[in-house]
Amino acid sequence: MIVPVPCLKNNYAYLIPNGAGGALVVDPGEAAPVREALAQLGLELEGILCTHHHLDHVGGNVELARPGIEVVGHVSDRARIPRLSRSVEDGETLEVAGIELGVLHVPGHTRGAVSYRMANALFSGDTLFCGGCGRLLEGTAAELHASLSKLVAAVPPSTTIYTGHEYTERNLRFAAAVEPDNPAIAERLATVVDRRRKGLFCAATTLEEELRTNPFLRVDVPEVRAAVACERDDPREVFGALRAWKDTC
């Protein structure tokens, strides 16, 4: 069972138990909530998976890392992720604390962004959000579009995607502006609004749900192209226009 751990203002770290009393943590933005969750579950931390170098995802590394704990991140982030001890590259398969993981290099939000894949789960960091995607801080729209296409091709639709932030309601409000006649978006937004009012977690999704409701994965849909007034039938151009629009919201 994967356990979401709220960190900072709207970040999520994730604990992945290994079934033998140990666990990995994905993106510990701060140490204290992770330690508390480990204690409550009676788990020992055995590894840290970093999707990228931003402080709100690695701020807990120094306090949590100790001898024997592997800190994993992309090879290009060797100088930017605190306590990094294992550098990985695209397509690599590795085992950490008895858990097998696949690595997907997904640049766009940052140069060294990676997503980690395991059985029926994917940790997307700030590359893919529920109903949205990351900002272009170190890459181009074409790069992020290619990275999202890679994620879609890499996992089955039933895969649960665990994202780095609770941006779901805001993203779906934007999605509804892009596709006001999409009933799947309207239904999902209503559900998320209700859940967020109750303080419930909404930062995980399935790929199948994203393909129905996330405009950044729907740039080949005529309604999305029309919404950004893109004359050319080029998904990369639609994506860039969509990302630019979202940046103004």
74 has catalytic annotation = no
Catalytic residue among 53, 57, 105, 145: 57
Cα-atom radius of gyration of the chain, to the nearest Å? Answer: 18
- 168 neighbors 175 (Cβ within 8 angstroms): no
57 has catalytic annotation = yes
Interhelix angle 141-154/235-247, nearest 10 degrees: 110
How far apart CA 179 and CA 157 sit, in angstroms, is 21
Catalytic residue among 52, 74, 105, 145: 52
145 has catalytic annotation = no
Question: Please, is 92 exposed, middle or buried when counting C-beta atoms within 10 Å of its C-beta (0-12, 13-18, 19+)?
Answer: middle
Catalytic residue among 53, 74, 105, 109: 109
For residue 122, the tally of other CB atoms under 10 A from its CB is 20
Catalytic residue among 53, 74, 105, 165: 165
- 15 neighbors 34 (Cβ within 8 angstroms): yes
54 has catalytic annotation = yes
Catalytic residue among 53, 74, 77, 126: 126
Catalytic residue among 53, 54, 74, 105: 54
56 has catalytic annotation = yes
- 161 neighbors 202 (Cβ within 8 angstroms): no
Q: Residues with Cβ < 8 Å from 215, sequence gap 6 or more?
A: 174, 175, 178, 179, 224, 227, 242
Question: Which residues are the active-site residues?
Answer: 52, 54, 56-57, 109, 126, 165
